Amino acid sequence: MSDTLYDEIQREIAKYPDRRSAILPALRHAQEHYGWLSPEALEAVADGLDLPPARCLAVASFYDMFFLQPVGEHVVEVCTNLSCAMIGADRLLREFERELDVKAPGTSADGKITLRCVECMGGCGWGPVVSVDEDYEEHFQIEDVAPLLERLRSTSRPSESHA
């Protein structure tokens, strides 16, 4: 287990009167380190929190933002909830699927980009909203799809972007 992840988890624990409350931040740090919550990552979280790995998995599996399977270098999420769907998110999603040649949820054949649809992200007034590596792109139009994918294909995910 990496020392820095262990240290990060201890810093999170210090914010709470009960170490169990640090499980979400600990899982987030582990996902940033390992790319997804692999069995190894969950072991690291369990060690850092002094909790059983099964409990870490039980909590992680409840939340949509934790990946229990490997994902691409970049994650593109299209909001398909009411407000975005009503103004074209549906066509946007199909365009992403066509460009990436993958059905959401899925990862492009080169392993570079994971596409999935998500529920309301709270950008409804500026929709359709697309989240790219946890960064919102608003008023996203069909003609923005190809340039975005071009950019993502040529860059690696900035690690620890929100640590």
Partner 1 sequence: MPEAPTFAQPDPSALLLPFAGSRREIAEYEANGGYDSLRKSLGMTSEQIVDEMIASNIRGRGGAGFPAGKKASFLAQGVDRYLVVNGDESEPGTFKDREIILRNPHMLIEGIIIYLWMIRGAGAYIYIRGEYAKEAAILEGAIAQAREKGYIGSPLPGTDYVANVYVHRGAGAYICGEETALLSSLNGERGQPTAKPPFPAVSGAFKKPTLLNNVETVATVPIILGMGGAAYAGVGTEQSTGTKMFSLSGHARHTGNYEMPLSATYRDLIEGKGGGVPEGRTLKAFVPGGSSMPILMPNQLDTGLAFEAVVAAGSMAGSGAVIVVDDRTCMVRFALRTAEFYMHESCGKCTPCREGTRWIAELLRKQEMGLGTLEEIDLLLDICNRVEGNCLCVLGDACAMPVRSHINNFRHEFEEHCRLGRCSCPDDAPMSELYPPLLKAPLPMVAH
Residues that bind partner 1 (CB under 8 A): 15-18, 20-25, 27-28, 58-59, 62-66, 80-83, 85-88, 90-91, 93-94, 118-127, 131, 134-140, 144, 161-162
For partner 1, give the closer residue by CB, 6 or 21.
21
What is the DSSP pairing of strand 113-118 with strand 74-79?
parallel
| The total number of residues written for the chain in this structure | 163
Looking at the Cβ atoms of 11 and 110, the one nearer to partner 1 is 11
Task: Rank residues 63 and 70 by Cβ distance to partner 1 and give the closer one.
Answer: 63
DSSP, collapsed to helix, strand or coil, labels residue 154 as coil
CB of 2 to partner 1, least distance (A): 21
Compute the least distance from the CB of residue 110 to partner 1, in Å. Answer: 25
b (16+ CB within 10 A) / e for 82-96: ebbbeeebeebbebb
Q: How far is the CB of 91 from partner 1 (least distance, A)?
A: 5
Shortest distance, position 131 Cβ to partner 1, whole Å: 7
Strands, E assignment, the chain:
74-79, 106-107, 113-118, 130-132, 135-137
Distance CA 16, CA 42 (A): 21
Residue closer to partner 1 (CB basis): 110 or 134: 134
